[in-house]
Amino acid sequence: MKAPLFAHHDGSELYLSTDSPRIKDEVSFRIRVSNDVKLDQAMIRIYHDGEPRIFEMHSVDCDDAQTWWEVSVPILNPSTFYRFLLVKDANYQWLNAAGLFPYEVTSTFDFKLIASPSFPQWINRSVFYQIFPDRFARSKKRKSFPGNFVPRDWDDLPRGKDPTTGVEYFGGDIDGVRQHLDHIMELGANGIYFTPFFPANSTHRYDASSFDEVDPLLGGDKALIALKKRADKFGIAVMGDLTTNHCGQLHPWLAKAKRNRDSVERGFFYWDKTIPHGYVGWWGLASLPKFNFSSDALKRKLYAGKNSIVKKWLRAPYSLSGWRIDVGNMTGRYLTDDFNAEVIAGIREAMDKTNPNAWLVAENADHFPADLNGLGWHGTMNYNGFMRPVWGWLNKDPQVQYGFFGQPTDLPKVTGSQLVAAMSNFNAGIPWRNLVASMLLLDSHDTARFRNVVGKQAARHIAGMGLLLTYPGVPSIFAGDEIGLEGQWGEDARRTMPWKHAEKWDRDFFNEVKKLVRIRMENDALAYGGLRFVHVTDDVVAYLREAHSETVLVVISRDSTEIEIDLSKFGYQVDLTLYGQMQTGSVISRKDAGPTVGIYQLTGK
């Protein structure tokens, strides 16, 4: 990587007086400029009612390392695009969210400020734990199950890729989760993200046959209410998973629509006589009939009505803390129809009216960064801007099958510079507050386990956990990752927790993950700080997380290497080593024998 940029701005608290202004509020914008470059002028170019305007900035603070420039400007529109003009010796450069450019650029990667209330603040100090209900833990309650389900012993591995895929039944339930909350608390996580818990014709449950109750196989509504009551006692949030793109083929809406062509429900779906089953399914699947959002009645049922599905589960007695929306990028999109923006806004409005503190995160919004405009989804499951780049950088002798998460290719091998470029490219396309409200993950129920991505090397896995728990966003750990659970592809990764087999737990790894989670939960810089990459080589990535009250440096290597970082260039020295090899003074000097994580609390010189 080239030397760090001489100027920096992001949407964090050091650079904006507020990230959630009201229309006509004045906002102070700040940039940080290295004293290696003496600017003649600095200006902000900001849009007012669609027209760019230029405002002069003034230097307001200076130390041995840097000079701060500032200007206050009124905000006139719900979404404001802006960038900075930096002038020296009759030449100028543009600073936007993608970097510095000594030539003309468009507004595509301008910084973006949203004039709307703050996103939920509690997520800034949250670490989520993703649970696939059938596989985490089962209570002693025994239940009859549908005839198409194939029972498995708890210690069996999922078979996957055969006729039983999707209907293997291990018997996990919500009471089992409640009985193992102590494990989640020991890890340090304070949020649970459940994949769907509605009744369905599969144990994956993305083919809901009802949105009105918790699947009785999982313990029904009573089990969820009991879990929520206990989770609240320990400060653990619980969020659900909703399919707004489709339902299951056993859903009564579809049954009624098929029986009666004049029914209201007929308009909930797309019909096509050329398809054997007569209706459009997600990816052509009869099991997943796709919703048609030209139907106002469907909108009322799902989110707009007083007792809609979105609203019901956010209210007492369930009081979910948010929704993860399945395939949010495809919701409302089919051929020439595109209701996606309308549906996103409608879901957000429904949640804001019911519980403005609920978190709304969509799967695959990272495929459509325009969906992350600050006015709809709070965030995405950050596959493209985090997980995929991290897989590319940290994979080593990967033991995975079926390609690179959606691509029929082997896992790529990328350098540290390519990792940072991929992350920065994604970040530049969305408002900062959408980035920090996005879910970070090393893997999920849809992917291979990260332990397999790194060739079962615990040290590389810790490097990944170091990134996960220090990068901007809301970390999510797939149940079992914390003990080194394996899986070569999505279905194989949906393994049960080996509660009765302590020998299968990587205890040393678990203890290190707990330390990292604790650091994430306790540190202001990791909750509220910005992001500056300050040292990048093929094998090393280092970045600053800077907030008003604290600054942290994260240094992660993937292989044996020597590292030297002069912090005096940034005006810092090490105050405290939070994790990893002890460091002092203004120079980080390490000789790493292999993948290593270092986290350092800094202070000004």
Q: What is the DSSP letter of 210?
A: -
Tell me, yes or no, whether 370 and 510 share the same domain: yes
Tell me, yes or no, whether 313 and 335 share the same domain: yes
For the chain, 605 residues long, the average pLDDT of each consecutive 10-residue run is 80 97 98 94 97 97 93 97 96 96 96 96 98 96 88 94 92 98 98 98 97 97 98 98 98 98 98 97 96 98 98 98 96 97 97 97 83 92 96 96 82 97 96 97 96 98 98 98 97 97 96 98 98 97 98 98 96 97 97 98 89
Inter-residue contact 29 to 15 (CB < 8 Å): yes
DSSP H or E stretch at residue 601: strand 596-604
Tell me, yes or no, whether 460 and 595 share the same domain: no
**Residue 1 domain-assigned (yes or no):** no
- Answer with the one of 114, 134, 161 that is the final residue of a domain: 114
Tell me, yes or no, whether 410 and 459 share the same domain: yes
pTM: 0.96
The per-residue pLDDT for 161 is 83
**Residue 587 domain-assigned (yes or no):** yes
Inter-residue contact 159 to 168 (CB < 8 Å): yes
The per-residue pLDDT for 3 is 61
Range of the domain at 260: 249-290
Helices (DSSP H) in 539-588: which residue ranges?
none
Characterize the bridge pairing of strands 359-362 and 322-325: parallel
CA-CA distance, 308 to 299, in Å (whole number)? 9
**Residue 2 domain-assigned (yes or no):** no
Question: Count of domains in the chain?
Answer: 4
The per-residue pLDDT for 605 is 64
Inter-residue contact 445 to 133 (CB < 8 Å): no
Domain CATH for 96 = 2.60.40.10
Domain CATH for 597 = 2.60.40.1180
- Answer with the one of 467, 496, 522 that is the final residue of a domain: 522
Tell me, yes or no, whether 161 and 217 share the same domain: yes
Compute φ and ψ for 76, nearest 5 degrees.
-110, -10
